[in-house]
Structure 1
Amino acid sequence: MESVAFRRLEALLARGDDGYSLAEGALTVALEEYPDLEIPAWLARLDAMGRELQQELPADLGVEDALMALNSFLFERYGFHGNSQDYYDPRNSFIHEVLQRRVGIPITLSIVYIEVGRRIGLPLEGISFPGHFLVGCPLSGGKVVVDAYASGTVLDREDLESRLAGLYGQRVLERIDVTDLLEAATKRDILARLLRNLKVIYLQRQDLPRALSAIQRLLLIQPDAHLELRDRGLVYAQLECFRGALDDLNRYLAQAPEASDADQIRARVVDLQARVSGYN
């Protein structure tokens, strides 16, 4: 049965990307864990932060100076910082917790950065860079790329290539133009990445009901994400929901018959068929 939070997210997505703010989307994701969350109150807090900063800025401030002011405001005055000590604390993935505790991970700190920055007129956008979410600010001559997890550090091409090589190796880097990875992410993409982080955290903790909830919402956002379909099937199997598991894994194999784990999943399907038959 779908939860109230699931239906709220479904209604939000139905508005389209222009029908809600990134912060509202992230707060709606948090409703599953915090059903009494007052979304308007947290949006008002972001509004207040934006007004506080805006009142201090001269009217003719350029983009680069505005970015410096935003960095000082968030990371010096308010003390936002990356949670390197407990990176996988689920609270780091909930925007209201990040606003309250002033600590988070790259994607949630980026959302705060984008939302406050937009309130002072900066055209900020999220960048789903591999391994580490970033913020982009388009300029007439290109794009400034900022790491909100590193207190607003500006990254140049060499920095980005170094990060990519660290993830995939130099050979992969030689085949990829790093600028191709700097496209603005849609709100749906950002919410999906936020939920994917939660899914991984909950799976690591063997918190299967919460992992399942994250996957259900991921599939709401990205219905064609066959890897999420596979993962839901595997979670269903662990929860002994064998029919649901069988349906999902069969659909996964139909969508990705040549997947690297296809043989392994086929073996799970045979086992699940036996279990389902045993209940008939």
Structure 2
Amino acid sequence: MTLPDWNSLATQADETLPLLETALLIARDEYPQLDADLYDTLAQSHAEHLRPEIEAIEAWPLKMAAINRHLFDELGYSGNHDEYYDPRNSYLNEVFERRLGNPISLAMVQMEVARRLGVPLDGVSFPGHFLVRLPVDDGLLVMDPFNGGRPLGVDELRERAKPHLGGDIPDDNALLHILDPASHRAILIRILRNLHGVYAEREEWDRAARSADRVLKLAPDQPEALRDRGLAYLHIDHRHGARHDLTRYLQLAPEAPDAHALHERLVELNAGGAARMH
């Protein structure tokens, strides 16, 4: 398996952006000796073990139940409830090896295996926890990979969305919109934003800056990533980079809630003398 080059991703269409390969590229930042072929082979072995059973089943929900049973019950993939914010939960090599992850990384394993078996499983950038969805005859089968692939009913989905919608319960149209499939780019950006949040909380500012920088490799000029990288640069005293990113953020999001405070920071930064490069 050949991993993509970071500098090629911004211009690549969402539908051709390789999900597994780019997720492993993210992991290689932290694990430079990562062997991508090992994890490609592991995902394929999971699929091949299931293939005879899946091919003998006709109904999509029953195919998916067999996949979930193998991944979560037999192989032991599970949500890391005890150490939810461990960064290893976001690195796919660690998820394959430890069989522990967060919602989005477990969804990626689930999607990778299902798709290799011809099951069109998609990710859902649901507020709160990432989910997966499968089209079925009468609508959508929505599942929670963090909790063993458990199917979720409409009422539970509404309740899960409610706290993220100002307390409003979404109607059918709003819920369907929330359940739209997430693009590969959106999935990868969400992984990186999770990593940025973990590293910022731990005050590991070099890794926080790196995570925001990788978002910008996927989506140049994304305002939040520019802000996040600029603030991380401030912490590691890369003032030239901080000045550039925060200036660009304010150009792109002049009405943002934090715009005034960051403008003040930028005034202080510009008054602080010449930038020092690190």
Q: Does 1:220 pair with 2:206?
A: no
Counterpart of 2:228, as a letter, is: D
Answer with 80-89 or 55-64: which moved more. Answer: 55-64
TM-score when scaled to structure 1? 0.91
Rounded Cα–Cα distance in structure 1 between residues aligned with 2:36 and 2:46 = 16
Q: CA deviation at 1:179?
A: 1.2
In structure 2, the residue corresponding to 1:61 is in which secondary structure? coil
Residues 229 and 136 from structure 1, CA distance in 2 versus in 1: closer, same or farther, beyond 3 angstroms?
same
Q: Does 1:229 pair with 2:221?
A: no
RMSD across aligned positions (CA): 2.1
Aligned to 2:139: 142
Answer with 146-155 or 175-184: which moved more. Answer: 175-184
Aligned to 1:171: 168
Residues 149 and 254 from structure 1, CA distance in 2 versus in 1: closer, same or farther, beyond 3 angstroms?
same
Q: CA deviation at 1:56?
A: 2.9
Out of 188, 193, 197, the position equivalent to 2:190 is 193
Kept in 2, the 8 Å contact 1:242–1:275? The answer is no
- Between the two proteins, the alignment pairs up a number of residues equal to 274
Q: CA deviation at 1:59?
A: 2.8
- The superposition leaves residues 202-233 of structure 1 with CA deviations (integer Å, 9 ceiling, x where unpaired) of 10111111111111110111113111111111
Aligned to 2:19: 22
Aligned to 1:157: 154
Out of 114, 118, 135, the position equivalent to 2:115 is 118
If asked which structure has higher relative contact order (CA below 8 Å, sep 6+), I would say 2
Q: CA deviation at 1:164?
A: 1.1
Rounded Cα–Cα distance in structure 1 between residues aligned with 2:216 and 2:6 = 12
Aligned to 1:265: 262
Aligned to 1:42: 39
Residues 167 and 216 from structure 1, CA distance in 2 versus in 1: closer, same or farther, beyond 3 angstroms?
same
Answer with 225-234 or 200-209: which moved more. Answer: 225-234
Answer with 31-40 or 173-182: which moved more. Answer: 173-182
Aligned to 1:81: 78
Rounded Cα–Cα distance in structure 1 between residues aligned with 2:17 and 2:224 = 27
Answer with 94-103 or 21-30: which moved more. Answer: 21-30
- Note the residue ranges of structure 2 that are not aligned, 5 or more in a row: none
Rounded Cα–Cα distance in structure 2 between residues aligned with 1:163 and 1:136 = 15
Q: CA deviation at 1:256?
A: 1.2
Kept in 1, the 8 Å contact 2:103–2:144? The answer is yes
In structure 2, the residue corresponding to 1:52 is in which secondary structure? helix
Kept in 2, the 8 Å contact 1:47–1:119? The answer is yes
Kept in 1, the 8 Å contact 2:10–2:219? The answer is no
Q: CA deviation at 1:277?
A: 4.7
Counterpart of 2:262, as a letter, is: I
Out of 30, 54, 64, the position equivalent to 1:33 is 30
Kept in 2, the 8 Å contact 1:9–1:29? The answer is no
- The superposition leaves residues 153-210 of structure 1 with CA deviations (integer Å, 9 ceiling, x where unpaired) of 1112211110011334423747971111111111111110000000000101111111
Rounded Cα–Cα distance in structure 1 between residues aligned with 2:164 and 2:92 = 27
In structure 2, the residue corresponding to 1:135 is in which secondary structure? strand
In structure 1, the residue corresponding to 2:53 is in which secondary structure? coil
Answer with 214-223 or 16-25: which moved more. Answer: 16-25
Kept in 2, the 8 Å contact 1:93–1:108? The answer is yes
TM-score when scaled to structure 2? 0.92
Residues 276 and 62 from structure 1, CA distance in 2 versus in 1: closer, same or farther, beyond 3 angstroms?
same
Rounded Cα–Cα distance in structure 1 between residues aligned with 2:61 and 2:273 = 61
- The superposition leaves residues 114-162 of structure 1 with CA deviations (integer Å, 9 ceiling, x where unpaired) of 0111122210011111111110111243211111111011112211110
In structure 1, the residue corresponding to 2:133 is in which secondary structure? strand
- The superposition leaves residues 223-253 of structure 1 with CA deviations (integer Å, 9 ceiling, x where unpaired) of 1311111111111111111122112111111
Identity of aligned residues (%): 38
Q: Does 1:92 pair with 2:89?
A: yes
